[in-house]
Amino acid sequence: MKSELKHQNLKYFNTFKLNSYTDHFFIVRSFKDLKFTTNIFSDYKDTIVIGGGSNIILPEYIASLVIKVDFSGIRMISNFENTVLIEAYAGESWHDFVMYCINKGWYGLENLAFIPGTVGAAPVQNIGAYGVEFSNCCHSVVAWSLSDGKVIEIPVKECFFSYRSSIFKQELNRNLIILSVRVLLSRKWNPNLEYFKRNDFLSKTPEHTDSINDFIDTICSMRKSKLPNIKEFGNVGSFFKNPIVTKEIFLNALNFFPSLVFWKQGEDSYKLSAGWLIDNCGWKGKKYGSVAVYDKNALILLNQGSAKFDDVMNLAALIASDVYCKSGVILEIEPKVYY
């Protein structure tokens, strides 16, 4: 098949369901397609690589080259006594990959079940939930270097993972197409319960540590209860990061909000709950155009049907400035916003 660019509305390629038009859309399905991207890459000022589209906010018109990776497959690379090294290709659904591993008896990813998106998107923002982040199991990321037309393997240390960020979200993003991820998983199920202990969840439901199936059911139902169904309302999960602030900013915010939810990280470092702050500034259920703050979780913005990029960004700016005025805390947007 001839490699060529297409005109495309990306509405069904981003989970916020924003209309976003481009004349430069290309689906990568083969090595030949990868070479084609390298040939045309320098014609563009920017490149956008789309995975499941669950962590991006797209503008109405895109002049950049837009690439969707469609490689699939899961394979075992090495089989050690206590661990296994598994490779999953970028186009696989993340949740299906997690379930595949659990069914094979390979553990480590279970707290990350039911996160929307593809495998290729997982390292970009270092997806995380219930006390575990992608970086905890990552061995390396395999990518196509657009600028020199080569496959490279980036070891975990060089991915510079941090809270909802990585080298792929930062400077290298324009040059790399993630092809697959390699994760080191355990043959023994050793549940990570830190989050549940902290949130007093286990005391209510102790049976959930007994079997992996119960555990997964619990994770999935917790996510379902806090996150709106993407099929019903476009959204990108958490719209803001939980801010990590200094003691001075924390104490100042605590002065305004004595029951503020926070987690102490270090001597001078506190992670604050963005959802709690937005909620307590009175934003649940508020609307701007066709975008609303989810009434069950203030951290989530919803597309109520015909949302536009400007509606999303205006509402986000109103929320952030209100939270700043009332608490002195600066909120940062979690998804990657393309202008």
Interaction site with ligand EPU (CB under 6 A): 129-130, 195, 226, 237-238, 241-242, 261, 273, 275-276, 279, 297-299, 334
Q: Catalytic residue at 238?
A: yes
Q: Catalytic residue at 334?
A: yes
Residue number, 8 or 218, with CB nearest to ligand EPU: 218
Residue number, 108 or 237, with CB nearest to ligand EPU: 237
Length of the chain: 339
Least Å distance between CB 60 and ligand EPU? 24
Q: Where are the beta strands (DSSP E) in 90-223?
A: 128-129, 132-133, 138-145, 150-155, 176-186
Q: What is the 3-state secondary structure (H, E, C) of 162-175?
A: ECCECCCCCHHHHH
Least Å distance between CB 329 and ligand EPU? 14
Burial of 48 (0-12, 13-18, 19+ CB in 10 A): buried
Least Å distance between CB 239 and ligand EPU? 8
Six-digit token string for 148: 């020199």
Can you say how many angstroms the Cα of residue 1 is from the centroid of all Cα atoms in its chain?
32
* Distance between CA atoms of residues 126 and 116, nearest Å: 13
Least Å distance between CB 310 and ligand EPU? 22
Residue number, 65 or 274, with CB nearest to ligand EPU: 274
Least Å distance between CB 257 and ligand EPU? 11
Give, as one character, the DSSP assignment of residue 107.
Answer: B
Least Å distance between CB 236 and ligand EPU? 7
Residue number, 59 or 117, with CB nearest to ligand EPU: 117
Whether the Cβ atoms of residue 23 and residue 5 lie closer than 8 Å to each other: yes
3-state SS, residue 188: coil
Residue number, 8 or 297, with CB nearest to ligand EPU: 297
Can you say how many angstroms the Cα of residue 124 is from the centroid of all Cα atoms in its chain?
7
* Distance between CA atoms of residues 119 and 98, nearest Å: 10
Least Å distance between CB 130 and ligand EPU? 4
Nearest to 322 by CA among 263, 259, 258, 279: 279
Nearest to 109 by CA among 205, 206, 190, 5: 190
Q: Among all chains, which residue has been given the structure tokens 């490779």?
A: 87
Selecting among 135, 140, 238, 327, the annotated active-site residue is 238
Selecting among 135, 164, 180, 182, the annotated active-site residue is 164
3-state SS, residue 291: strand
Six-digit token string for 126: 């270092």
Residue number, 62 or 301, with CB nearest to ligand EPU: 301
Element containing residue 316 per DSSP (H, E): helix 309-327
* Distance between CA atoms of residues 46 and 145, nearest Å: 14
Six-digit token string for 97: 């990959």
Residue number, 40 or 99, with CB nearest to ligand EPU: 99
Selecting among 92, 110, 133, 334, the annotated active-site residue is 334
Question: Mind telling me the catalytic residues?
Answer: 164, 238, 334
